[in-house]
Amino acid sequence: MALLEILTYPDPRLRETAKPVAAVDDAIRTIVENMAETMYAAPGVGLAATQVGIPLRIFVIDTAAEGEPSQLRVFINPEVIESRGKHVWREGCLSFPDVSEDVKRAEWVRARALDKEGNGFELEAEGLLAVAIQHETDHLNGVLMIDQVSPFARRRIGRKLAARPRVSA
């Protein structure tokens, strides 16, 4: 397994719309394993393939609390097929280091996807899992956290990120 580079805003690749995965094979499973390792190392609760420069419809999520066993969930070709209610959740994003903002999301979702073996599944989620599914699905559609906040918050985020020291490769 390998750690992948997490793209940070304003990298234009974060705006790419991901393409569907044609077949779940060993190459896709390797991507999933590398994404999970990268997410845990960051650390984060979710990571979309577009955040690591891979324009495929894949994301991984683990919402287990500190000290609980891992609950890694793999979503390949995910769709949110139903949502209900509204609530505001304080979100962070690995592509926006040290930024968190209040984002309005559905409080409940039903999602459909393939797992890492290519088996289809549906699940209902609320709370952090519902937020993470919506957040990562947005990434696959080229929609970022900064698009979900007020113009004032957008400017504040831009200033914070502009003041961040740049790391040269």
**Catalytic residue set:** 136
Query: Which residue in 85, 165, 67, 69 sits closest to 124, CA to CA?
Result: 85
Q: How many residues does the chain have?
A: 169
β-partners of residue 61 are 46, 73
DSSP letters, 81-109, are EEEE--EEEEEEETTEEEEEEEEEE-SEE
The sign one gets for the Cα dihedral 18, 73, 84, 120 is positive
